[in-house]
């Protein structure tokens, strides 16, 4: 590892985590795909080993570790095709909302369970009629005595079935000049009356990730479940997107690296016309092109991870990385399946699953088109 953000302690941690997932995660990926979910005991196993939310302060049960530990966890899971485990979502996308916006009682109530895996966390933004356009959400929360009363529906919610807690984006001021000025984040716990989970959604890929609709029908939660300041929810979501898109970029980059590695090996072993297929000039060129893109992607991503850890604002660059690395992963998936030939279309070959799984990377956490809009604004349009 050449990246300067890593110390000897990081290397020891990576080695330990790599051994753990080789033993307890990788052998079960196929079964989890079939089941459409990751068993709950795996989350508590991760928590027992200190592999969930390692950045959380020791006062709440964490390790007070830096972001490099999160990078390592997400990279190593990405390398074996376990993005659907959604550890990054729980640990590095949702839990930080509680940490950065929560009151002291909220942190004490929810963060320790996030660290142990006893409280799984999800975030609910997307709605049937509001995806990339967050200002189009219709879920509303109104005050009634000591409670918020929430009505609305969310969809495509990862960890939607197994979550114990969900952060819900709601309109709390319908008279605001625009929805972004009247949106709040409210925490809803599983089992709350009026909160229900729809059937597990059937997806093209990422099948081990339980994904559901969430329904709120006169769902009453205490007023103190508000995260941060009322009507500031949209601003909070925007603030968190840099880290979220970095996590997605890690998944895309590690997917490209893994797919290239398995395809190079296949092209060295598979023969056609009396030679390994990788030696056929066209195939050699394709492999060379992919190797170049993967190397460029890794160097760019590592530079952004370093700058993020230096607490620099890199929303434009992260948007660039998110769309380019996701689209690169999709191009590489297509080419790798093609190089595998008919075997690439068979479920028994890992590249088949990778091909399905990477497709969503250009969609979730902001589509490629939204990323380009953000970049356009940042450069003056």
364 contact partners, CB below 8 Å, separation of at least 6: 156, 158, 248
Quick one: average pLDDT of 205-223? 97
Report pLDDT for 103. 98
The percent of residues above 70 in pLDDT, for the chain, comes to 99
Complete domains list, the chain, with CATH: 8-119 (1.10.540.10), 122-231 (2.40.110.10), 235-378 (1.20.140.10)
Q: Please tell me the predicted confidence (pLDDT) of residue 133.
A: 76
Helices 368-378 and 315-340 cross at an angle (nearest 10°) of 150
Known catalytic residues are: 244
Q: Is the pLDDT of residue 141 over 60?
A: yes
Q: What is the pLDDT of residue 215?
A: 98
Q: What is the 3-state secondary structure (H, E, C) of 160-173?
A: CCCCCEEEEEEECC
Residues 58 and 62: their CA atoms lie apart, in Å, by 5
Using CA atoms, how far apart are residues 157 and 177, in angstroms rounded to an integer?
Answer: 28
Instruction: Assign 271 to helix, strand or coil.
Output: strand
Q: What share of the chain is helix, strand, coil (3-state, %, to 5)?
A: 55, 15, 25
- Return the DSSP state at 346: S
Q: What pLDDT was estimated at residue 223?
A: 98
Confidence check: pLDDT of 74 > 90:
yes
C-alpha gyration radius of the chain:
21
Secondary structure letter of residue 341 according to DSSP: G
In this predicted structure, the answer to whether residue 139 has a pLDDT above a threshold of 60 is yes
Can you tell me the distance from the alpha carbon of 6 to that of 21, in angstroms, rounded to the nearest whole number?
A: 20
pLDDT at res. 3? 62
Q: What is the average pLDDT across 83-100?
A: 96
Per-residue confidence (pLDDT) for residue 148, from 0 to 100: 98
- Which tokens hold the place of 186? 């409210």
DSSP of 97-109: HHHHH--HHHHHH
pLDDT for 1 beyond 50: no
**pLDDT confidence of residue 2:** 54
Query: How confident is the model over 54-77, as a mean pLDDT?
Result: 97
Q: What is the mean pLDDT of the chain?
A: 95
> Which distant-in-sequence residues (6+ apart) come within 8 Å of 305 by Cβ?
3, 5, 67, 71, 246, 250
Residues 6+ apart with CB under 8 A from 60: 107, 108, 111, 112, 115
Strand 165-171 relative to strand 121-124, pairing = parallel
For the cut 80, the answer to whether the pLDDT of residue 140 exceeds it is yes
Give the pairing of strands 183-189 and 140-144. unpaired
Between 178 and 122, whose confidence is greater?
A: 122
């Amino acid at each position: 590892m050449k990246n300067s953000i890593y110390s000897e302690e990081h290397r020891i941690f990576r080695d330990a985590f790599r051994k753990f997932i080789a033993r307890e995660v990788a052998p079960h990926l196929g079964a989890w795909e079939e089941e459409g979910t990751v068993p709950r005991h795996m989350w508590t196993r991760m928590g027992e080993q200190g592999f969930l939310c390692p950045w959380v302060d020791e006062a709440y049960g964490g390790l007070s570790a830096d972001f490099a530990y999160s990078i390592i966890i997400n990279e190593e899971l990405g390398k074996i095709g376990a993005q659907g485990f959604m550890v990054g979502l729980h640990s590095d996308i949702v839990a930080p909302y509680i940490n950065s916006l929560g009151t002291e009682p909220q942190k004490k109530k929810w963060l320790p369970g996030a660290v142990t895996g006893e409280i799984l966390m999800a975030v609910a933004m997307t709605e049937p009629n509001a995806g990339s356009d967050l200002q189009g959400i219709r879920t509303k929360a109104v005050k009634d005595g000591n409670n918020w009363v929430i009505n609305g529906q969310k969809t495509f919610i990862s960890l939607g079935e197994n979550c114990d807690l969900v952060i819900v984006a709601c309109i709390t001021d319908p008279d605001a000049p625009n929805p972004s000025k009247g949106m709040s984040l409210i925490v809803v716990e599983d089992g709350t009356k009026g909160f229900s989970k729809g059937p597990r959604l059937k997806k093209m890929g990422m099948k081990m990730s339980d994904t559901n609709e969430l329904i709120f029908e006169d769902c009453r939660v205490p007023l103190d479940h508000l995260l941060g300041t009322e009507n500031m929810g949209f601003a909070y979501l925007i603030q968190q997107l840099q880290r979220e898109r970095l996590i997605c970029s890690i998944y895309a980059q590690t997917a490209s690296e893994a797919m290239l590695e398995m395809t190079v090996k296949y092209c060295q072993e598979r023969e056609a016309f009396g030679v390994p297929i990788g030696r056929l000039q066209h195939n050699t060129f394709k492999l060379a092109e992919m190797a170049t893109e993967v190397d460029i992607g890794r160097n760019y991503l590592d530079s952004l991870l370093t700058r993020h850890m230096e607490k620099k604002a890199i929303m434009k660059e992260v948007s660039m990385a998110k769309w380019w690395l996701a689209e690169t992963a999709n191009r590489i998936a297509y080419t790798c399946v093609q190089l595998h030939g008919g075997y690439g279309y068979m479920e028994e070959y890992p590249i088949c699953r990778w091909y399905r799984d990477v497709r969503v990377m250009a969609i979730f956490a902001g589509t490629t088109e939204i990323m380009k809009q953000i970049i356009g604004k940042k450069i003056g349009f």
